[in-house]
Amino acid sequence: MIRRIQSLPGRPPGFLYRESKQGIFRHKRKFVLHCDEIALPKLVAKYGTPLYVYSAPMICERYATFDRAFRESPHTICYSVKANSNLSILRLLARRGCGFDVVSGGELERVLMADRKAAHKVVFSGVGKTREEMTAALKAGTMLFNVESESELWALAECAARLRTRAPVALRVNPDVAAQTHPYISTGLHKHKFGVPIRYARALYAKASGAKSLRVVGVSVHIGSQITDVAPFGEALARVAELVRVLRDDGHRIEYIDAGGGLGIAYKEPERSGFAKDAASYARAVSEPLRALGVHLLLEPGRSIVGPAGALITTVMYRKANDGKRFLVVDAAMNDLIRPALYSAYHEIVPVTYPDSDAKVEVVDVVGPVCESGDFFARDRELPPIEEESLLAILDAGAYGMALASNYNTRTRPAEVLVSGKSVKVIRKRERLADLMRAEM
């Protein structure tokens, strides 16, 4: 397993094994998983488990790679805050000129706390914006509102009129394009709650243009998440391009096209061609249908930027066998990382310390302590024999990990640390039970 992770060119570089020799004559070898230059056991010794660990250089490198992929098109990268909303990560991206895609007033407040100047690069999306949230976004000076229904359009117009301003709007159109992804994160079909059917968009744009407090400036589309085939993106944007031409003929000044996010990552296998080539393929699929329109392109990557840059480190508390079925009971649980329970999502799991030997594998379920049968990280997974008190790393957990964490079973949420080279920064303290009780009467 060590050689496989080290040798494949597509394996994200933030987490790699490094050789460590032990013994008086240092003849015993083992391999220890590192985040950048820091051995994970050292982090665990100081901060405990479960522990989220992120590589800052990897986040920055993937953002830069994504940005370069669109260098031939006028564009703004608006990082999807819902993927991982930690303030330090938002600050890290804001310092590099990144914009942000938010879907709630709380996410907007996080962006403003990270960098108040970033407001003019914020896109406000989401199917259920409240008037209070829209008012806050208008006051902050957000770049664009992606409006998802006629009712929301008039609510936004009302809020803008009250503030004596004009809200910049794009309608999120639903292109009815199928994306090969989990049904919970597919958003581009007519049966989904998101967006306005594209065939009705022209009439709604005409209505919006008549509102003095609205400024029609764009078209938005988003077909889903964790999509690894770029063809559906191209199909969706081709339909958007047709709509833009019609809208311009109608007299609308369409300046922006928000292509959404959704580019997936390789959870099971390393990125076959490398992230740079994957991002370039995505950029071609998105940009080609829009090439003659002269629009400013908005992109909303999230998972593809932070997903492979994070890992959840957990301790094996117990080994257990039920009639031949083997379990590793770890101290992390579904409340810390719910993706496997929610989507049956796959995460590669590796031992943090790996001996220099060709140990036989065993088939195990890796499960947490929460009182639910759905509390698992892997089922029937082949792993080398893992002893109690050993550490495991659940990889590719930088996106939709801590962002979806909860306090189910009155469990405190993990600490988060951000690693850069040899430096470590705690970016979220481990919760205490007192923190959970504080708001209760």
Could you give the residue numbers annotated as active site? 371
The kind and range of the H/E element at 427 are strand 423-428
- CA angle 400-405-409, nearest 5°? 150
Contacts (Cβ under 8 Å, ≥6 apart) of 202:
243, 246, 247, 250
Looking at the DSSP bridge assignments, the partners of residue 168 are 215
Give the side-chain half-sphere CA count within 13 A for 139. 13
Among candidates 305, 381, 375, 304, which has minimal Cα distance to 340?
Answer: 375
Cα separation of 145 and 135, whole Å? Answer: 11
> Which amino acid does the sequence have at 169?
V
- Kindly report the backbone phi and psi dihedral angles of residue 207, in degrees, each rounded to the nearest multiple of 5, phi listed first: -65, -45
* Residue where the block lists tokens 């590669």: 348
- CA angle 91-307-395, nearest 5°? 125
- Kindly report the backbone phi and psi dihedral angles of residue 185, in degrees, each rounded to the nearest multiple of 5, phi listed first: -120, 20
| CB 161, CB 181: distance < 8 Å | no
Sign of CA dihedral 415, 427, 18, 63: positive
